[in-house]
Structure 1
Amino acid sequence: MPHTHHHGPDCGHGCGHHHGPRHIYIYSPASAIRDKAAFKRGVARLKALGHEVEVDPDAQAVHTRFAGDDATRLAAIHRAAASGADVALITRGAYGLTRILPGIQYQAVAKAIERGMKFVGFSDFTAFQLAVLAKTGAATWAGPSLLSFGEDETPDDIMQACFDDLLTGQGEGAGWTLGREKTHPQAEVYVKKATLWGGNLAVLTALLCTPYFPQVKGGILFVEDVGEHPYRIERMLTQLLHAGVLAQQKAIVLGQFTGYKLAPHDKGFKLQSVVDWLRTQVKAPVLTNLPFGHVPTKVLLPVGAQVSLSVEGRDALIYWGHTH
């Protein structure tokens, strides 16, 4: 097992060759673009990195809060799948995919993935990723959206490096440092070859008991969320617990939970309270601080792929280089 000593998150590099420019297809399967300047900056930055960037004709469509009506967004997904691009990158998440899941041509998406296309996104895109996994077993990538590249500030170095690794086929893993906690239930964890799956907790929980929820046994589940108070995070985790989902996992990895405010009446109930409680409910290790979520520093993770997980002390590594 390769072991790395590192500070902060990183991408595990393989020793491949740089493959020159990539074809990136940009499309909008969920909410409408509101920040046109950020959209332009994102496209310009990807082009500046030397990539061929193809923008879907309806990428900036608007229909109420969505990027076009349901039929328009479905057509955009299918154009992306048919584009022959190396990467299909969503413009943004926010709400919009759950309601169109029945209309997606999953075999067309799976064929595109088989030919080497990498579907990348996060947040609301979790619905697409889990549905593709449930229906076809194919893997997609949890990672940035176009707007992640379009922020005012320069995009995060680690996110860019991980995205570059994905484009060049060199990504082999993601390493990070676990959160500083008084107690770590297990100083050493090693899970060999388990299915990595998960994404946004609210979107994932909303798919329970539907045909779009993957039945992953012995997997590694990762979750993140934004704008959800710790009690709401606990309520969603409780739903997964009572549904028997958590008991079937070999590890639970918590990403970044951001954008909420604690209230005086919480009286000390906080995110760590939820983590401590969760550890009393499941046998599997519960790991924290994965650099993924609604934050600038995002690693890229293969949703639905076979990975290994190792923890030594506070050093954690999710590794998929052995699957190539």
Structure 2
Amino acid sequence: MSSLTLFTPAGVLAKSQPLKRAAKRLSQLGFEVEIDADALAKHQRFAGDDATRLAALHRVADAAPSVALATRGGYGMTRLLDQIDWTRLLRSIEQGTRWVGHSDLTALQLGLLAHTKHRGFGLWAGPLACDDFGRTDEEGGVDEVTQDCFVEAMQGLLEAVGFRTEAGFDGLHERGTLWGGNLCVLSSMLGTPHFPKIKGGILFLEDVNEHPYRVERMLLQLAQAGVLQAQKAVVLGEFSAWKKSPLDRGYKLKDAIEAVRARCPGLPILTGLPFGHVPTKVCLPVGAKMDLVVQGREALMIWGPDPAHHHHHEDCGEDCGHDHHDHHAH
């Protein structure tokens, strides 16, 4: 049975019920769940003051559970980046810990890539305990794809995810280090020592509550800093929960993406990845080497079970996805 620790490294948990529900559901999925002592700590909008949250992070790292799953994101990791003992986190990964989360957890995952040589399966962009496993049935309960993907990833069985992208990328095959996460958090780290200098990577991005013009502005910042052009491909997830403005006059997310494509000729920028602040999300191994293959409009991100056993999929057939535990979420 895999040990799983729930901890709160960033924003405060306003209520304890979602945490209890998440712990119960994760136990039913076969995990041995432990809730960190300070998971419900409160200080302003944070889950305890900086020292409390930093101590929790190091405590989880030292215990090295099979899975370290953040209860929620919010804001707060950025405050800790200068004080984190990255070697302690790396040691937990070497002992088999998988650190899982998205949103504000992007800062932790990118910081680890920047400060250590970790390039493997210890960091997963994936669910957050309360958002994804703590909703009541009235609120929509647990999404099946999210749950299945998470369980497979934590068992080391998830080898690929598939999704439908737009036309125009048929025949694409790129290989590189997968990295990325929340666009706003990632942009805020640019120019700091915590920003990983990854060249020839596959960059995935998502965001929430950000109007398309703000998404465009952040993407252009990454382009103007030379980050986008240094990648093999960019894969966009969901940009959810933004509100239209009367000033848009027909300007949509699609237009924002087109504006960025125009400034990065030759860089494939794909859309449609089922990931972000939405109920249905896949799990992605941040820092792992992977292949991005597109046939028609079907995109497949393949990393294989273990880098040592990785085999190329040059002739990826129609049924290729079925050999890999691949999750299509349309």
Q: Same fold (TM over 0.5)?
A: yes
Q: Which runs of 5+ in 2 are unaligned?
A: 309-330
Structure 1 residue 165, shift from structure 2 partner: 0.6
Residue in structure 1 matched with residue 189 of structure 2 by the alignment: 207
State how 1:127-166 maps to structure 2 within 5 Å. Answer: 127-138=107-118, 139-147=122-130, 148-152=132-136, 153-166=140-153
1:167 corresponds, among 154, 159, 163, to 154
Residue type of the alignment partner of 2:238: Q
- Alignment pair present for 1:295 and 2:278: yes
**Post-superposition CA distance 1:69-100 (Å, at most 9, x none):** 00100011011111131000001000000011
- Alignment pair present for 1:251 and 2:236: no
Per the alignment, in what secondary structure is the counterpart of residue 151 of structure 2?
A: helix
Per the alignment, in what secondary structure is the counterpart of residue 103 of structure 1?
A: coil
- Alignment pair present for 1:100 and 2:83: no
Kindly indicate whether the alpha-carbon contact (under 8 Å) linking 2:64 and 2:93 is maintained by their aligned counterparts in 1.
Answer: no
**Post-superposition CA distance 1:99-119 (Å, at most 9, x none):** 110111100101111111100
- Distance in 1, matches of 2:63 and 2:111, equals 21
- Distance in 1, matches of 2:71 and 2:299, equals 30
Residue in structure 2 matched with residue 319 of structure 1 by the alignment: 302
- Distance in 2, matches of 1:187 and 1:46, equals 39
Residue in structure 2 matched with residue 16 of structure 1 by the alignment: none
**Post-superposition CA distance 1:130-165 (Å, at most 9, x none):** 000000132511000111110123211111111111
**Post-superposition CA distance 1:152-181 (Å, at most 9, x none):** 2321111111111122110111111114xx
State how 1:157-306 maps to structure 2 within 5 Å. Answer: 157-179=144-166, 184-192=167-175, 194-282=176-264, 283-306=266-289
Residue in structure 1 matched with residue 326 of structure 2 by the alignment: none
- Distance in 1, matches of 2:188 and 2:51, equals 22
- Distance in 1, matches of 2:14 and 2:277, equals 17
**Post-superposition CA distance 1:10-68 (Å, at most 9, x none):** xxxxxxxxxxx210011111011013221111111011112110111000000000000
Runs of 4+ in 1 over 3 A off after TM superposition: none
- Distance in 1, matches of 2:217 and 2:7, equals 33
- Alignment pair present for 1:38 and 2:38: no
Per the alignment, in what secondary structure is the counterpart of residue 222 of structure 1?
A: strand
Per the alignment, in what secondary structure is the counterpart of residue 293 of structure 2?
A: strand
Residue in structure 2 matched with residue 71 of structure 1 by the alignment: 51
- Distance in 2, matches of 1:274 and 1:195, equals 25
Residue in structure 1 matched with residue 70 of structure 2 by the alignment: 90
**Structure 2 length as normaliser, TM-score?**
0.89
Kindly indicate whether the alpha-carbon contact (under 8 Å) linking 1:185 and 1:285 is maintained by their aligned counterparts in 2.
Answer: no
2:292 corresponds, among 294, 309, 324, to 309
Kindly indicate whether the alpha-carbon contact (under 8 Å) linking 1:141 and 1:300 is maintained by their aligned counterparts in 2.
Answer: yes
- Distance in 1, matches of 2:283 and 2:30, equals 20
- Distance in 1, matches of 2:211 and 2:31, equals 39
**Structure 1 length as normaliser, TM-score?**
0.90
Let me know the Cα RMSD of the aligned residues.
1.1
- Distance in 1, matches of 2:11 and 2:169, equals 41
